[in-house]
Amino acid sequence: MTDFTRLMEKKAAALKYDSEKNGAPVIVAAGMGEMAERITETAMKSGVPVYEDDSLASLLTQMKLGAEIPEELFQAIVEIYIYFLGFTGDPEKDKEEREKRREERKNALSS
């Protein structure tokens, strides 16, 4: 697989939730390839936790910017918000937590 192909497989979406304005989280950024990398880098530099889920990212990048998350994706989004509640703001500690949870998901899928 070429570097270009690997780059184009990357997908990212950024969500925002304001309960006073919207009934569900809204897509504020989405893209593939280099745009996905920029979204992820911007989030990380800003201290925003990053959650990796290729399937969900694929769905979200197909939606329009400003669109509310459809009801069918609520459970997945709630799980992500719960996941973020465990973050401390300490990059090293948060990295360990991400790796632990990634391993738990991998084990659950292989069971």
Domain boundaries, the chain: 3-110
Tokens of 30: 């989405």
Q: Which run of H or of E encompasses 4?
A: helix 3-9
Task: Give the residue-averaged pLDDT of 89-100.
Answer: 71
DSSP line for 64-111: PTTPBPPGGGHHHHHHHHHHHHT--S-HHHHHHHHHHHHHHHHHHHH-
Answer yes or no: pTM beyond 0.85. Answer: no
Residue 108 pLDDT = 74
Tokens of 73: 């994706």
Q: How many C-beta neighbours within 10 Å does residue 99 have? A: 10
**37-72 confidence digits (pLDDT tens):** 999 999 989 888 888 888 899 999 999 999 999 999
| CATH for 3-110, options being 3.10.20.90, 1.10.606.20, 3.30.2130.10, 3.40.1690.10 | 3.40.1690.10
